[in-house]
Structure 1
Amino acid sequence: MDERFKWEQRYSQAKEPFYGHEPSPFLLRSLPLLPPRGRCLDAGGGEGRNAMFLAARGWEVLLVDLALAGVARARRHAAAQGWPLRLVVADLESNPLALGEGALDLVLAINFHSRRVVEGAMRWLRPGGALVVEGFTQEQLGRSSGGPQDPAVLWHPNELPRLVTPGLRLVWYEDRLVEDDDNPRHRGPKWVVRLVAVRPA
């Protein structure tokens, strides 16, 4: 199934936000490692649960997602709360962002498996800026507890540290089987990778 069509269906058919209203628990755990505020790219941000959490705390957030239905829901929610999100419908894999070097303080890729975005973060982040990644690894193949089932998309063991360490300093990395039910859509044991990396000041 076409990726855009899949997500359009998921978001448009869900009466409530597909991933709920609460931000990623990993984003919450990462907060002490991040700048207090600044400019953020929420890559593949869907309906905006993480973007709106950050906007409410004074961040200037650009959310980019390929699904119009998800971005439309984020726009409605942000407007109702008076949060000034920038929202763009685009496929980041085929339409790279024209962001200048040092333009951002934070790049989020939560459940968005994109090597292009991770590599771009090394240019986009200004000194002290952070990259936060959470996703699934190859070991998740065959499990029904969430994540894509395409081996070309899933992260390989230790792939993320190799991608980021030429330009960023690794401050959090885990690649393991977890039993938590952080996300109502991803219940049960799942093999996840989580990373926070910072551009040296």
Structure 2
Amino acid sequence: MFGSEPSLVVRRALPFLPRPGRCLDLAGGEGRNALFLARLGWEVVVADCAVAGLARARRRFAAADLCVRLLAADLESAVLGQPRELFDLLLVVNFHDRSWVVNAHRWLRPGGVLVAQGFAKEQLGRGTGGPSDPTFLWGANELLALATPGLRVLLYEDHLVEEDENPAHRGPKWVVRLVAARSVEG
């Protein structure tokens, strides 16, 4: 659906990431970002509610001879509770439900990094992708304010970008991106 190349936010976040460890790709779909990270040595878990997307992810990882853990889950309820596992990297790219954001720091080990991207309210009506429901779009500094308690901001962007990740939605998109780290002290 989105091709095989990793999202630009993942590539932009590389200088901020800790050494490869455990990564949770929340709403990771077909696994393009997870596959990229696995090739860099990350142990990845892809969680998504779309079983068909996870099946494509399994085939991609098998073709690349890489290991992955796939979780079919109701993501909206899964992210509200206390996590059973902690990760060095929490990746959330275009997951439109907001329930994950206030608990993001809980999923990270000390020193772990959150990499997130979503569509801004300015994207509404542009016709180049993103949700048509405005409640799934981020307002100015909203992602920044909700996600960062307990985290130190390393990168924040809220702007128009030219990305052609999805062949069905070519053209400029207004996105918000956040890279933030949990303190090493915990």
Instruction: Pick one of 24, 29, 39 that aligns with 1:41.
Output: 24
Identity score, percent: 60
Structure 1 Cα separation of the partners of residues 49 and 106 of structure 2: 22
Greater share of residues in strand:
2
State the 4+ residue runs in structure 1 displaced beyond 3 angstroms.
94-98, 179-186
State the superposition RMSD in angstroms: 1.7
Verify the 8 A CA contact 1:39 1:104 in the aligned structure 2.
Answer: yes
Question: Aligned pair in 2 of structure 1 residues 145, 197: CA closer, same or farther (>3 Å)?
Answer: same
Q: Higher relative contact order at CA 8 Å, sep ≥6: structure 1 or structure 2?
A: 2
Cα distance in 2 for partners of 1:43, 1:95 equals 10
Gaps of 5+ in 1: 1-17
Cα pair 2:128 2:172 within 8 Å, conserved: yes
TM-score under structure 1 normalisation? 0.84
Query: How many angstroms does 1:134 deviate by?
Result: 1.1
1:58 pairs with 41, 44, 59, which one?
A: 41
- Whole-angstrom CA distance in 2 between matches of 1:167 and 1:83: 33
* CA 1:189–1:134: 2 relative to 1, 3 Å: same
Q: d(CA) in 2 for partners of 1:122 and 1:95?
A: 15
Q: Which residue of 2 aligns with 1:119?
A: 102
TM-score (norm: length of structure 2): 0.91
State the partner residue of 1:99: 83
**Number of residue equivalences:** 183
SS of the residue 1:173 aligns to = strand
Residue segments in structure 2 that go unaligned for 5+ positions in a row: none
Q: Do residues 75 (structure 1) and 55 (structure 2) align?
A: no
| Superimposed CA distance per residue, residues 114-164 of structure 1 (whole angstroms, 9 cap, x where no aligned partner) | 322222221111121110111101111111101111111111211111112
* Counterpart Cα distance in 2 of 1:136 and 1:186: 13
What CA deviation, in whole Å up to 9, does each residue of 1:23-60 have, x standing for no partner? 11221121010112111110111100011111122111
Is 1:177 aligned to 2:160, yes or no? yes
Contact 1:142 1:149 in 2 (8 A): yes
User: Is the Cα–Cα contact under 8 Å of residues 113 and 155 in structure 1 kept in the other structure?
Assistant: no
CA 1:185–1:173: 2 relative to 1, 3 Å: farther
How far did 1:183 drift? 4.4
Contact 1:170 1:197 in 2 (8 A): yes
1:84 is displaced (CA, Å) by 1.3
Partners of 1:82 and 1:21 lie apart in 2 by: 16
